[in-house]
A and B are shown apart, each in its own frame.
Chain A
Amino acid sequence: MSDAWIVVAVVGLVTIVFKSAGPVFLGRRALPARVRSMVDLLAPVMLMALVVTQTFGGNEELQVDARVPGVAAAAVAIWLRAPVIVAMVVAGAVTGLVRALA
């Protein structure tokens, strides 16, 4: 089985269990307040860590390459309240352009 299939199978199964946690497994129980506040922080934490690894990661060193101007341009687009899809296209286009010129 390829890596992609393993990831798809495990993530799919875990997500199905997560979504049914309340309705099927735990009932009306509530998460303890401290667990809840940690779970609430997981999304911003993982998303920003992904931003950093996608922008600077690779070959076990911090790389500053064509991705940086792309993501910077996207950040400006997001700041200007552009739709998410526009920010993605801006990032891809700027990075692609810089790569083509380099």
Chain B
Amino acid sequence: MPVETRSTPRIRDGVRAAIPLAPSPILFGLSFGVLAEAAGFGAVTVVVMSATTFAGAAQFAAVSVLDVGGTVAAAVLAAVFLNARYVAISLTVASIFPGGRFRRLVESQAIVDESWALSGRSGHFEWPILVGAGLLFYVVWVGSTALGTVVGGVFEDPNALGLDAAFAALFLALAVPYLRNRRGRQAAALAVAITLVLIPIAPAGVPLIAASAACLLGLSR
């Protein structure tokens, strides 16, 4: 093997590139810790979820579905559907991970929307940027979640805070970027219609999962 003298970025360059983006996961991690703890998840459960799932929207979804009395199956499916995009995302960076299967399994957990976006900034995906940025986001996410559970444990009556409405506001804000294209708006409108029709006639959780059928619009051209 020749000695490589490329000027490729290092992991610490990835960490550095991620620092300007860190405030957002810090605030989200804090609010996830607060809301999940207030929704009745134990502090340890909440932190373990951030450490293993490491994907904000899905974690909020799972917690909020259980919070309003949805079933375990509905909570799991909502989170799994939200994370399905990671299959597509991980395929785009499949070839940049070095080493054996176990190492690739561990390092691929650094894939989150933000680290993936940063790693492609130079026009091709760079492994050190992805892993370095993912590492920083991971530490920040798990740490701020833990801090949030401490704050969340203080509230005695979480529903007085409007916890349910805060969840809804988060999902609305996260949906907005997807509504900029026509197909996204059509699918979202269909999902809203399905959910509204089913809420009065189906058990909690069912309307949410049934709404996922709206993604079938992606089959039409």
Where the two chains meet, the residues of A that have a C-beta atom closer than 8 Å to any C-beta of B are: 2-8, 10-16, 18-24, 26-31, 34, 36-58, 60-62, 66-67, 70-71, 74-75, 77-78, 84-85, 87-97, 99-100
Where the two chains meet, the residues of B that have a C-beta atom closer than 8 Å to any C-beta of A are: 27-28, 31, 40-42, 45, 48-49, 52-55, 57-59, 61-62, 64-66, 68-70, 72, 75-76, 78-97, 101, 104-105, 107-109, 111, 159-176, 178-179, 183-184, 187-192, 194-196, 199-204, 207-208, 211-212, 214-219
A29 with B91: CB separation less than 8 A: yes
A31 interface neighbour in B88, B171, B201, Cβ under 8 Å: B88
B91 with A31: CB separation less than 8 A: yes
Q: How far is the CB of A2 from chain B (nearest CB, A)?
A: 8
B165 with A91: CB separation less than 8 A: yes
B173 interface neighbour in A4, A20, A84, Cβ under 8 Å: A84
Tell me which residues across on chain B come within 8 A of A84, comparing CB atoms. 28, 170, 173-174
Can you pick out 19 interface pairs between chain A and chain B where the beta carbons lie within 8 Å of each other? A3-B72, A3-B75, A16-B109, A27-B94, A34-B219, A43-B82, A46-B61, A46-B208, A47-B82, A48-B175, A48-B191, A49-B207, A49-B212, A54-B164, A74-B165, A74-B172, A89-B166, A91-B162, A92-B165
B64 with A16: CB separation less than 8 A: no
B199 interface neighbour in A5, A51, A60, A99, Cβ under 8 Å: A60
Tell me which residues across on chain A come within 8 A of B188, comparing CB atoms. 44-45, 47-48
**Nearest-neighbor residue (CB-CB) of A96 within chain B:** B162
Tell me which residues across on chain B come within 8 A of A57, comparing CB atoms. 68, 199, 204, 207
- Interface of A, secondary structure class, is helix
Identify which of A15, A61, A71 gathers the most chain B CB atoms within 10 Å of its CB.
A15
Q: Give 12 A-B pairs besides A51-B172, A60-B201, A97-B162 with Cβ atoms closer than 8 angstroms.
A: A14-B79, A18-B90, A39-B215, A44-B187, A45-B211, A48-B175, A48-B211, A54-B68, A57-B204, A75-B169, A91-B168, A96-B160
